[in-house]
A and B are shown apart, each in its own frame.
Chain A
């Protein structure tokens, strides 16, 4: 069979990295960095999600079609959030909001 088999030791290393990153995100949240708190927290969360997807969910050894499908999901999520927020943050910038 062509399926790749990772070693238990490798899976444990990924697990250890995820636990360390969880500790880091709790520790950093205690420090007041202003708006950068969100940036750091989300960067760590995305890193953890990528570790889970690439190694635990075997995307590293999946077909390109499967990888593209996974990416498409997050791409559509980005469209949902970015276009919605481009409306919310720009309201009243060009024209006044009626009733305000």
Chain B
């Protein structure tokens, strides 16, 4: 102990080392930029993951546009629209959670994270009732599928895409709520502050990305048949 205190360089190096700074980084700025870049590279793989489904949608929509329009008319625009608003509001509360970290308001981080999770849960709750409605009306692809509009065979493709795309999106929401629960605990313990909140920033990027996927899903799935009644 006395030998460490005797060495002025050792004391200096220790004072410079931030507790949240990993050893491989020069400073907190470099660490933050690296984690943001890494998260974006993950999000690029996610763009391609959902992108394959969007491409499938574009192909079938171009081939069977009348069936898609008639099938889209069976989705609930009120529920879908309300859910869009809920998700956008959750993006605002997510951005505010990071703002709370940036201004060192520990309790506010937790409050905004919980609000974000509650809004995410509200979205999933509305989705549950929408799915239930599809089961009741025999609009789930399979042996029980019944469709009184034109071209029921290809309307089934629309509903297949609807369930796969919104289902994959809902799975992302569930994972997001899990991640935010873990981060809310860490935030409560005081792990994040104005100098270090990279995990919050990365979770925020993920949450906003999931919001963007829905921003495209809503018009492409729900609004095709809106003017056709």
Contacts and interface: CB of A to CB of B under 8 A. Distances in A.
A26 B85 CA distance: 12
Given A32-B227, A69-B37, A81-B51, A42 B219 contact: yes
A72 to B, nearest CB: 7
Interface in B190-223: 194-195, 201, 204-205, 208-209, 211-212, 215-216, 218-220, 223
A1 B8 CA distance: 26
A29 B160 CA distance: 23
Interface residues of A, number: 49
A32 B89 CA distance: 29
A77 B46 CA distance: 11
B48 interface: yes
A17 to B, nearest CB: 10
Given A22-B84, A85-B58, A11 B96 contact: yes
Contact of B227 (A2, A31, A45, A49): A31
A70 B40 contact: yes
Contacts of B29: 1-3
Contacts of B227: 29-33, 37
Contact of A52 (B37, B40, B54, B215): B215
A63 to B, nearest CB: 5
Interface residues of B, number: 52
Contacts of B102: 3, 5
19 contacts: A1-B28, A3-B29, A3-B102, A5-B99, A6-B95, A25-B223, A26-B223, A29-B226, A31-B227, A42-B219, A48-B215, A52-B208, A56-B95, A63-B37, A66-B40, A69-B41, A73-B43, A85-B62, A89-B62
**3 cross-chain pairs, A with B, having the tightest CB-CB distances, nearest first:** A73-B44, A29-B223, A29-B226
Interface of B: 28-29, 32-33, 36-37, 40-41, 43-44, 47-48, 51-52, 54-55, 58-59, 62-63, 77, 81, 84-85, 88-89, 91-92, 94-96, 99, 102-103, 194-195, 201, 204-205, 208-209, 211-212, 215-216, 218-220, 223, 226-228
Interface of A: 1-3, 5-6, 8, 11-12, 14-15, 18-19, 22, 25-26, 29-33, 37, 41-42, 44-45, 48-49, 52-53, 56-58, 62-63, 65-66, 69-70, 72-74, 76-77, 80-81, 84-85, 88-89
